[in-house]
Amino acid sequence: MALSTGDHVPPFTARQDDNQTFHFTPGQWTVLFFFPKTATTHCQLQARQYQAHLPAFSGLGASVIGVNGDPRRDQVRFRDLCRLDYPILNDRTQALSREFDLLDDVWSGETVQRPRRETFLIDPTGVIRHHWKNVTPGQDAPSVLDTLRVLKGEETEHA
């Protein structure tokens, strides 16, 4: 069963592009964005948009995490090329992509499935508050940031 809006994201562990272990546990707002391939301009645009908006996300108490299934060496190059200050989780096993039901059809000329470009906004209790499908790379980060601001405003109003 796919995880979507309203579902709890179970704690998970994954290897980061820097070979460190990442542990997801509830406790803060988290932006989890999946992207199919490090060597494409659309994926680079999306990642750079998140980097450009990282101070605003951090100021709202949110972490940004990218997820991709490319080899770690490709992810390291991608991180360096895009000058990213947030982790890219390595999903070579496709465990996260399967958990969120994001695996796309095999692309022409390739032998593996890749995740679709989709984004999840997870609240501090671990609940998915918003799920973006068919993401436009250049509009993803600003859209998620706007939604986070609205949800944080609601959170403040109900406190």
Which pLDDT does position 112 carry in this prediction?
72
CA distance 144 to 2: 20
> 115: domain CATH number?
3.40.30.10
Give the pLDDT confidence of 97-109 residue by residue, as tens digits.
888 878 776 656 6
- Regions in the chain scoring below 70 on pLDDT: 1, 105-111, 113, 154-159
Residue 57 belongs to a domain = yes
Predicted local confidence at residue 135, as pLDDT = 92
Take residue 121 and report the two structure tokens written for it.
């906004």
Is residue 29 in a domain? no
CA distance 100 to 120: 10
Answer yes or no: is 4 within a domain. Answer: no
Q: Which residues are catalytic?
A: 43
pLDDT for position 155: 60
Residues pairing with 120 in the sheet: 32, 131
Split into its structural domains, the chain has a count of: 1
Domain that holds residue 123: 34-157
Domain assignment present for 26: no
How far is it, in rounded angstroms, from Cα 117 to Cα 67? 10
**How far is 159 from 142, CA to CA, in rounded Å?**
26
pLDDT score recorded for residue 8: 95
Instruction: Name the amino acid, one letter, at 104.
Output: D
Residue 1 domain-assigned?
Answer: no
d(CA 69, CA 154): 35
Q: What is the pLDDT of residue 15?
A: 93
pLDDT for the residue numbered 114: 73
Q: Looking at the domain assignment, is residue 40 inside a domain? A: yes
User: Tokens 């994954």 label which residue?
Assistant: 14
Render pLDDT for 71-82 as a digit per residue (tens, 0 to 9): 899 999 999 999
